[in-house]
Amino acid sequence: MYVLDTNVLIHDPNSLLSFEEHGVVVPMTVLEELDRLKSGKSHIAADCRAAIRLIDQILGPALPEQVDAGVPIPRGQDSTLGTLSVLMPRPLAEGEGALPEHLNDNRIINDIVSMKSRDPLRRYVLVTKDINMRLKARACGIEAEDYHNDQLVSDIRQLSRGYFELSGSFWDRISNVETEQRGPETLHRISHGLLVSEVLGEEIYPNQFIIDEEGFVGRVLSVEQGVVTLRHLPPESLLEQQAWGLKPMNIHQAIALNLLLDPDVHLVTLTGAAGSGKTILALAAAIEMTIEHRRYNKIIATRSTPPLAEEHGFLPGTEEEKMDPWLGAINDNIEALHLNDENPSGSINYVKERANIQFKALNYIRGRSFQKSLILIDESQNLTPHQMKAIVTRAGEGSKVVCLGNLSQIDTPYLSPTSSGLTYMTERFKGFAFGGSVQLNGVPRSLLAEYAETHL
């Protein structure tokens, strides 16, 4: 029997369906917390409402004794697997240790202790994203674990970087290749089995890059019928490419810009430390494609705003003015792109108007559809996989989504690098033929920043 805490249902409202043949228990205290948090336009309120609707759908018209025993969870095609029940508060038997009941966490733990004492042959596991609650539960003799269903990697070091860096020469490792000159492009076709087993040592996906020490850069165009097709990209041309006057400072920024400027790539995720160039690269590419190439009608910039998620409506001014404190990095980088202009303020206003840059609060983005837009999701490491899905599915025809984030700077409670929406998007879309990701290496912004990174 898996007992779910409130934060699990907020993290993933569909988590009830993730425990297969096992029993799922929702304590009455959790239902009360969901009820308290369900009002408002914040993403937390929306997730609470979604979880409540799913619980209601499963329980339906079941009688109280059926709810207590467990209602079968429908899985489609008239089949059921697992049960859902509601845990009613029960007084502890005499002699059982009890935590003070002034906290909801303690009430839940006490209810599990009581339930376990009445049915000692059954295994009960508390599932919560609250580390401290897991510690308290274990101290009370209850198994407790994190919610792992949406964690695609167990260690952040397993996360796809989007490229392979090889020592020496790539071609010294290749015994058979078929090369074709298609206009200005040079394409190489290599056996998939040879490349994966003898050269890279792991699976390869479209829009990943191969970089060696001899200056070879190849981008994977396709992996089909046992053949990997690489596009040869001369490093000189990569490093000379520009987006709104901005040039890449290293090869990692160069391959990121290659994906950002490619109209056939609809999703790009950029990860990396502070100062690695994520935001300024994405913004320069967005402005270039919107103003110069007119591929997009507008740029939508958004991010999670957990501390004041409920208060946007009470702040004075327009939506852009309300979001300005949260999207300061976007404004900072627009200014950085025009520092050397004769009239920087005039250039900034011109770009904002011509590129139709709009700042949108995440709380009010649900239900909308953005056509022919470039959607920039800043600080996306602070979003859950469920929230990322809610934003990405807003992309309409002709739109592109760019996710930016630093997995070492997560500010949202109950999120870890392995459960972050940014990690989820990077791993889930690494086989997507029209998506790509790049992990950027730090480019120090100043001598002070470089010293701080190594000494603080």
Model pLDDT for residues 121-149, shown as the tens digit of each residue? 999 999 999 999 999 999 999 999 999 88
Confidence of residue 454 (pLDDT cuts 50, 70, 90): confident
- Note the pLDDT tens digit of each residue in 365-393: 777 889 999 999 999 999 989 889 888 99
Yes or no: is domain 158-233 CATH 2.40.30?
A: yes
Per domain, the residue ranges of the chain are 2-146, 158-233, 248-455
* CATH topology agreement for domains 2-146 and 248-455: yes
**CATH of the structural domain 2-146, one choice from 3.30.360.10, 3.40.50.1010, 1.10.3720.10, 3.10.150.10:** 3.40.50.1010
Pairwise CA distance, residues 6 & 421, whole Å: 19
Q: Which CATH class is domain 248-455?
A: alpha beta
Averaged over 267-290, what is the pLDDT? 94
The pLDDT of residue 317: 62
Mean pLDDT of the chain: 89
Predicted confidence (pLDDT) at residue 307 exceeds the cutoff of 50: no
| pTM reported for the whole predicted model | 0.84
Pairwise CA distance, residues 402 & 367, whole Å: 19
- Token look-up 């760019």 returns 402
Residues 6 or more apart whose CB falls under 8 angstroms from that of 78 comprise none
Q: Nearest-CA neighbor of 270 among 437, 383, 22?
A: 437
The pLDDT of residue 308: 41
The amino acid occupying position 88 is M
The pLDDT of residue 322: 60
Predicted confidence (pLDDT) at residue 332 exceeds the cutoff of 90: no
The pLDDT of residue 310: 47
Pairwise CA distance, residues 315 & 261, whole Å: 36
Predicted confidence (pLDDT) at residue 395 exceeds the cutoff of 80: yes
Averaged over 23-47, what is the pLDDT? 91
Confidence of residue 35 (pLDDT cuts 50, 70, 90): very high
Confidence of residue 313 (pLDDT cuts 50, 70, 90): low
